Chains A and B, each alone.
Chain A
Amino acid sequence: MATVKERQFRVEPFPGGTAGNMRLVEVGAQRDYNVVGTRPIRHDGTDKVTGRARYGSDIKLSGLLYGYILRSPHAHARIISIDTTRAASVPGVHAVCTNADMPSATHRAGDLGEGIVDWYHLNQNVLASDKVLYTGHAVAAVAADSVHIAEEAARLIEVEYEILTPVLDVREARSADALVLNDDVRTDHQPAGEQGEVPTNVAKHFHYEKGNVASGFEQATVVLEREFTTETVHQGYIEPHTATALWTADGKITVWTSTQGAFLIRMQVAELLGVSISKVKVVPMEIGGGFGGKIAVYLQPVAAILSKLSGRPVKLDMDRTSVFEATGPTPGSYMKVKIGVDAEGMITAGEAEILFEAGAFPGSPINPGCMCVFACYDVPNGRVDGYDICVNKPRTNAYRAPGSTHVALATETMIDEICETLDICPLEFRMKNAAKAGTERIDGPVYPLIGMWETLKAVELSDHWQSSLEGPNRGRGIATGYWFNAGLNSVVNATVNEDGRVSLIEGSTDIGGSRPAVAMQLAEILGIAAEDVTPTVVDTDSIGHTDVTGGSRTCYATGLAAIKAAEDIQAQLCQRAALLWDVDAESVEYVDGAMLRGPAGQEIGFKELSGKLLQTGGPVVGRGSVNADKPGGAFGTHIADVEVDPDTGKVQVLRYTVVQDVGTAIHPSYVEGQLQGGAVQGIGWALNEAYHYGDDGRLHNGSFLDYRIPTCYDVPDIETIIVEVPNPGHRFGVRGVGEVPIVPPPAAIANAIYRATGVRFRSLPMSPPKVLHELLSRERASRESTVD
């Protein structure tokens, strides 16, 4: 095998893309596919550009009632009483419900694929009975003939609260004298498995250690310790949450909803309503964005209860302010990180203390944060402590590489600072210290074949890195990011039709182009065109358990299921051909070009044989069921050029390039789209997005006007360089793509702002007022020193 130094690379346009869509090619390592790597029109495309695709809120049922949820105006209060009498008597109202209409829940853990949930806490989050723990916490619900009647009636519900002081800061929340949000929470120390004894806001403490940290820091010539803070940010999907439910007299519940995982909604609804999972059918409608925020239930159980009480189907649509106040977000954080580097520029030790806001109930992505903080590098000695801490903000949920963006801000800006101190090129430093196959992460795992170094090589060869950036107040920064990617369960059934096309049935909801990506993998195996496969996402009664579309697992794991289904079809077709030729099935080969070949050179094409299936034993259905566990981690490195306006503090991104190892790009256009979309979410997080809370715990910016996500006028073209270091755990080498691109932007932009202004930012967002404040403070300080 060639050593790293002998390998030859070039960056070239990715075929079929537009200007700025590039790929890294290793000389002599090209792979040859027919369908994989091409750009067919997505199968659901026409429906989506004509307005025909049916999203969650587009469902219509006869006798449909509309619901409205009454939410808490207080961030922290004990519920003394709830009186729904007046609401129930409003003409047009058919049902009113509170937590008392749900079965009581007990403390048990449920695994939602992208996070663990305690069923009692989820019960209380869906409808509070004991305490309200954030502004917007759901308290009661009404179903009526129209949403307007329901809303007016809900306002007549009388709730008596004992108002408590809100706890909003993680450092304050973990102090011994802090007001405790949940009396039932004890600190769970992992991986030690020890349990604390007193009620606390600190729900979890993760501790990982590797090597000898003290001696690691002793070997260092430069030791840097820095503190960082980030604010709560929201996934910001454009489609609000929605659920419609029908609970029929035979005890069956049907839920139409927009979700990343129909089977996880089924599990949660069944658990919270005390019915068996097979009594619940979840119909996943098209989903208008999720990014991790549409996995947990909010409205689904409430709609089901209102349906049971009214005997009619009930639809609940969430308004945008409630989406901000009561769903989603990813935690605000406080982090203290220490890194030691020796004179040769090698990392000798790392140490991190990470505090994540869990929100109202335990469950922040603190463990991924701990696992990712030093994941991009070979850190021989390290210690990481992470804390999951309850505060009076909405219960946090997964958001694209949950936890990794926070910690990358810390590590990646500190590396930039260290490189400056040691006068080393930040790209060269990263190449020297890059994690590679065999590197052991601080939390234990040893990397298989990964592409961290290759992304850096692509940066080095990129037009962006090689171009110069001139002009005042401008700077360039780079940063790297990592995500594990997930595997989990996926099922695909595929039926061969008589016309030689294949109907593919899957349980993975399609959030951004997984239909073509899965269909293309089946087509590649069978040697047919992507257009000859019709993928359909079905309800929970129509396919086996398929985990969430999240964790960057769908193209990998559902793709593996599609490959299995295709191989199953191949084996069955060989048997059919054997019947036709009167030979042993083992002697028939499925060869390139969708042909079957017999021992005496007999040949029949896939299409021709498809037309004979009904006469040779019936339709052929291929099945693929997987529990995939080798997703292969993914790394990305971004380059950001910015210009800072010294008069306003506004940071304009001038040029931006995303480089990422995707394993193998199945549909490059949608891979590029993931890289571009993730980067722009990260740019929003870097420069503007943050929840603004008053001291009373009320959210001040619960709208898209005030919680301002990037518009197309705010961002430049996002250039992409796809790197393909194949994942050994997948037939075509697929790694997850979607998570990583959100990770590097805040750090890359912070590094660029430093080059532009000389000011280091360790707090997000780097919004105009904050940037201007820093620039003016520095100006004032330099003026004062001149006067002295």
Chain B
Amino acid sequence: MAKQRIISTTINGNAVEFLATPRQTLLEVLRNSLDLIGTKEGCSNGNCGACTVLLGGRPVDSCLVLAVEVEGACLETIEGVASSDGLHVIQDAFLGQAALQCGICTPGFIMSSKALLDENASPSEEEIRFHLAGNLCRCTGYDKIVRAVQQAAEGETN
């Protein structure tokens, strides 16, 4: 096995250094080495979006990013979304709209939604559905997720 390397990053605003072999994905390191288990694994090949994190503000499937690639990068995970004052407006909206059933896809949806709203404060329903099409949910039929993102957008612009 190839030797581990030291990787320096910023995760949720904190400077973090970790060791990783070249074969390890960012997802594996987040979950297994850094105990950031809020990022979920659904498919390991970039098709379901459950492992979505923000890399330099852009949503990525962390199962498709090698850990060694994030040297110097700025990462945001679900663990960094709520502040010590309480939940983020998107998290509140997901609860208020009952936009989750089993909840396994929820962290990924919240990260993708955050990336959307950071870029476009008042997206149309069409834009929301297009932007979230890389995140799969098998429980909700998406209706309430879309409503939650709409509610969060309204909350942010108010």
Residues on A close to B: CB < 8 A? 18, 20, 39, 41-42, 44-46, 48-55, 57-58, 60, 148, 235-240, 286-291, 317, 319-320, 511-513, 667, 669-670, 672-674, 676-681, 703-705, 709-715, 717-718
Contacts and interface: CB of A to CB of B under 8 A. Distances in A.
A252 B98 CA distance: 39
A48 B133 contact: no
Given A48-B100, A237-B102, A677 B141 contact: yes
B95 interface: yes
Contacts of B102: 237-239, 286-290, 511-512
A48 B147 CA distance: 18
Contacts of A677: 101, 138-141
B136 A704 contact: yes
26 contacts: A20-B143, A45-B94, A48-B106, A49-B87, A49-B91, A51-B37, A51-B107, A55-B104, A237-B138, A238-B48, A238-B104, A239-B40, A239-B104, A288-B40, A317-B41, A320-B43, A320-B45, A512-B101, A677-B138, A680-B141, A681-B138, A703-B45, A704-B45, A711-B133, A711-B136, A712-B129
Nearest to B95: A45
A732 B8 CA distance: 58
B121 interface: no
A286 B139 CA distance: 14
Interface centre among B39, B87, B143 (most CB of A within 10 A): B143
Given A41-B95, A238-B138, A712 B100 contact: no
Contacts of A713: 129-130, 132-133
Interface of B: 1, 23, 31, 35-45, 47-48, 50, 77-79, 81-82, 87, 91, 94-98, 100-107, 110, 128-130, 132-147
Nearest to A45: B95
Given A148-B1, A512-B139, A239 B79 contact: no
B56 to A, nearest CB: 20
B42 A238 contact: yes
B143 A704 contact: no
Contacts of B96: 41
Contacts of A45: 94-95, 100
Contact of B146 (A287, A288, A511, A712): A712
Nearest to B41: A57
B132 to A, nearest CB: 5
A235 B138 CA distance: 8
A670 B101 contact: yes
Contacts of A41: 95-96
Given A49-B87, A52-B38, A673 B79 contact: no
B40 A18 contact: no
Contact of B141 (A48, A287, A679): A679
Nearest to A53: B103
A670 B140 CA distance: 9
A149 to B, nearest CB: 8
B98 A288 contact: no
A37 to B, nearest CB: 14
Given A288-B40, A673-B144, 12 more contacts: A39-B98, A41-B95, A54-B37, A238-B40, A239-B50, A286-B104, A288-B102, A320-B47, A511-B102, A676-B144, A704-B43, A718-B141
B30 to A, nearest CB: 11
Lowest 3 A-B CB distances belong to which pairs?
A51-B38, A288-B104, A512-B101
Contacts of A288: 40, 42, 102-105
Nearest to B47: A704
Contacts of B136: 238, 704, 709, 711
A238 B110 contact: no
Contacts of B145: 712
A676 B104 contact: no
A673 B143 CA distance: 8
A289 B81 CA distance: 24
Contact of B100 (A49, A54, A239, A680): A49
Contacts of A58: 31, 37
B38 A50 contact: yes
A320 B146 contact: no
A202 B50 CA distance: 40
Contacts of B128: 712
Contacts of B143: 20, 672, 676, 717-718
B129 to A, nearest CB: 5
A42 B95 CA distance: 7
Contacts of A48: 100, 103, 106
A42 B98 contact: yes
Nearest to A288: B104
B137 A238 contact: yes
Contacts of B42: 238-240, 288, 320, 704
Nearest to A716: B143
A50 B98 contact: no
Contacts of A52: 38
A469 B105 CA distance: 35
Contact of B91 (A50, A235, A679): A50
Contact of B140 (A46, A511, A673): A673
A558 B118 CA distance: 42
Contacts of A667: 98
B116 to A, nearest CB: 12
Nearest to B147: A18
B45 to A, nearest CB: 6
Nearest to A58: B37
Interface centre among A44, A705, A711 (most CB of B within 10 A): A711
Contact of B78 (A51, A55, A57, A670): A51
A55 B40 contact: yes
Contacts of A53: 103
B95 A51 contact: no
A511 B100 CA distance: 10
Nearest to A516: B98
B124 to A, nearest CB: 13
A680 B38 CA distance: 26
B142 A703 contact: no
B21 to A, nearest CB: 8
B98 A513 contact: yes
Contacts of A712: 128-129, 132-133, 135, 137, 142, 145-146
Nearest to A670: B98
B23 to A, nearest CB: 7
B95 A148 contact: no
A20 B141 CA distance: 14
Contact of B47 (A287, A317, A705): A705
A111 B1 CA distance: 46
A776 B67 CA distance: 50
Nearest to B90: A49
Interface centre among A41, A673, A681, A709 (most CB of B within 10 A): A673
B85 to A, nearest CB: 13
Contacts of B23: 148
A320 B63 CA distance: 13
A606 to B, nearest CB: 27
Contacts of A511: 101-102
Contacts of B45: 320, 703-705
A496 B78 CA distance: 35
Contact of A291 (B47, B138, B140, B142): B138
